[in-house]
Structure 1
Amino acid sequence: MIKFFRKIRQKLISEKKFSQYLLYAVGEIILVVIGILIALQINDYSEQKKERKKEQVLLSNLSKDVALDIQQIENNTMLSRERLKRLDSLIQLLKSPENLDEDRFVRQSYEFVFDQYFKSNSGIFDEAVSSGKMSFVQNESLRQDIFNYYRNAKETYTDGTTRQITDEFITPLLVEHVYLNQQGLKMLGLDLEDTAGLKNLDAKALSQNREYWKMVLLKFGGNQEQIIRWRAIKERAEELKQRLEEELKKQK
């Protein structure tokens, strides 16, 4: 092809057809420019195609992580509600303290120190932010929704407060009013009846103990507040997951 154009140029020069040669030269330059533009366009299309592929992988992985968040919240909510039901059944026994099985009551009261905590599965999002891959998400509105979701999901002040209440208030109150007796020592496998000089659990006194009921209120209030907070995160997660799936379908 190059030899062909060269022959045409040489022929025009030898025949001294300068005006035609000039037109030919201009035409040749235009063809070269068009060729370069076409090559750039093909290369740009190829790069865009690669970026869209990366975007689809990112959106798919984010959708999977959000699904894990939803599953975690559902599991946490179920476990917390079941625990509160068991504790409610336990404290109802104090209505008839004279018939209370102290050993069983002390043993089952240990559930007061257990809680569920939510931790967002944000590995894919965190890596995408640090590496700049979030720029692959073309849909500006969707990208903002992703950032808003994770910013909200990571604000675990409710879980943090619940953990603090359990560690600093519930556990000490539980030890003082439920475990600091002969049944509490037995539960730990300690035979210190003669050494410790502690009495058996007084169920009637416990049923009228304001500190004990303060502990109950803190436990139920904290866990119920967590459940409300998790429900709000779950609603956001479900909305985001739907948007991610819709964007994937649109691209495919």
Structure 2
Amino acid sequence: MIKFFSRFRQQLLSENKFSKYLLYAIGEIALVMIGILLALQVNNWNENRKKETLKNEYKTALINDYTKDTIQVNDRLLRNNLRIERINSLGDSLRNGHFNNLESYYRLYNEEFVGIRVTNVYNTNSFNLLISSGKIDLFDKDLRKELMELNRLQTFEKTVQDGNRDYLMDFMQNLASKYSYGSPLNKNITEQLLWKDVKVNDLPRDLVNYLQQERYTISRYLELTDDVLQQTELVLNLLHQTND
């Protein structure tokens, strides 16, 4: 094909048909330009297709991560709301004088001195990869803003609640080191020995202080986690709407 065009050009020149040659040259240049433009168009189409495929992969991964987060968070919100109700009920009982002797406080200590979950572990692998790879620009401005806000709320919740949890754990450890389980009123010799020299009259005050601290820790968890949950649901809605 190239040899054919070359011979055709030489023939036009040899026959001194310059005007026809000029038209031919312009036509040939136009064909080359059209070929280049078509190649660029195909290349752009391929690049856009690759970006769209990658975007959908990230979209699917983010939806999976945030869906798992909502399941975990809703479960912990339910459990901690129930615990708050229990603490409030105990507070009413204390104010109404239902705990009127040391034995009732021993039972309270043994039954209510429980561990709680007041921090969340978020699924952030997909988001972290999106940021580290610089691919967050695959999504539009509004979604990028909400993704960053969700990450900020998750980080803030975890930072605050890690501190609150550690403080409450120290409180629990101090109580555990001060008071043994069981009751010094039991006839069990082991329990009597464990409670020997313990200032049992301090127990009501220490238990009330602990329950107040636990209530604060859970209330703060509920507040911060609810913010995270609302933002997570917003981001999930935006992700589902992407390219729908």
TM interval, short-chain normalised: 0.7 to 0.9
Aligned-pair CA distance for 1:228: 1.3
Query: 1:72 maps to what in 2?
Result: 72
1:110 aligns with 2:113: yes
Aligned-pair CA distance for 1:67: 1.6
Q: Measure, in 1, the Cα distance between the counterparts of 2:181 and 2:62.
A: 52
Q: What is the aligned-residue RMSD (CA, Å)?
A: 3.0
Query: 1:220 maps to what in 2?
Result: 215
Greater displacement, 78-87 / 226-235: 78-87
Whether the aligned pair in 1 keeps the contact of 2:161 and 2:221 (CA below 8 Å) is yes
Query: 1:152 maps to what in 2?
Result: 153
When normalised by structure 1's length, the TM-score is 0.80
Query: 1:162 maps to what in 2?
Result: 164
Unaligned runs of 5+ in 1: none
Aligned-pair CA distance for 1:40: 0.9
Alignment size in residue pairs: 238
Give 1:108's aligned amino acid.
Answer: E
* Per-residue deviation, residues 48-105 of structure 1 (Å, max 9, x unmatched): 1110111111122112212222222111111212333445556638714459567653
Whether the aligned pair in 2 keeps the contact of 1:62 and 1:125 (CA below 8 Å) is yes
Among 235, 243, 248, the residue aligned to 2:238: 243
* Per-residue deviation, residues 200-239 of structure 1 (Å, max 9, x unmatched): 966xx744x2x33222111112101210111111111111
* Per-residue deviation, residues 11-37 of structure 1 (Å, max 9, x unmatched): 212312122112211221221121111
Unaligned runs of 5+ in 2: none
Greater displacement, 230-239 / 8-17: 8-17
Q: Measure, in 1, the Cα distance between the counterparts of 2:39 and 2:224.
A: 54
Query: 1:95 maps to what in 2?
Result: 98
Q: Measure, in 1, the Cα distance between the counterparts of 2:194 and 2:70.
A: 51
Whether the aligned pair in 2 keeps the contact of 1:183 and 1:201 (CA below 8 Å) is no
Q: Measure, in 1, the Cα distance between the counterparts of 2:69 and 2:191.
A: 47
Q: Per the alignment, do residues 100 and 89 of structure 1 end up closer, same or farther by CA in structure 2, a change over 3 Å counting? A: farther
Aligned-pair CA distance for 1:172: 1.4
Query: 2:50 maps to what in 1?
Result: 50
Q: Per the alignment, do residues 194 and 241 of structure 1 end up closer, same or farther by CA in structure 2, a change over 3 Å counting? A: closer
Aligned-pair CA distance for 1:171: 3.3
Query: Aligned with 2:113: secondary structure?
Result: helix
Give 1:16's aligned amino acid.
Answer: N
Whether the aligned pair in 2 keeps the contact of 1:128 and 1:134 (CA below 8 Å) is yes
Q: Per the alignment, do residues 180 and 195 of structure 1 end up closer, same or farther by CA in structure 2, a change over 3 Å counting? A: closer
Give 1:70's aligned amino acid.
Answer: T
Give 2:165's aligned amino acid.
Answer: R
When normalised by structure 2's length, the TM-score is 0.83
Query: Aligned with 2:169: secondary structure?
Result: helix
Query: 2:27 maps to what in 1?
Result: 27
Q: Per the alignment, do residues 80 and 108 of structure 1 end up closer, same or farther by CA in structure 2, a change over 3 Å counting? A: same
Aligned-pair CA distance for 1:247: 1.1
Give 1:31's aligned amino acid.
Answer: L
Q: Per the alignment, do residues 141 and 194 of structure 1 end up closer, same or farther by CA in structure 2, a change over 3 Å counting? A: closer
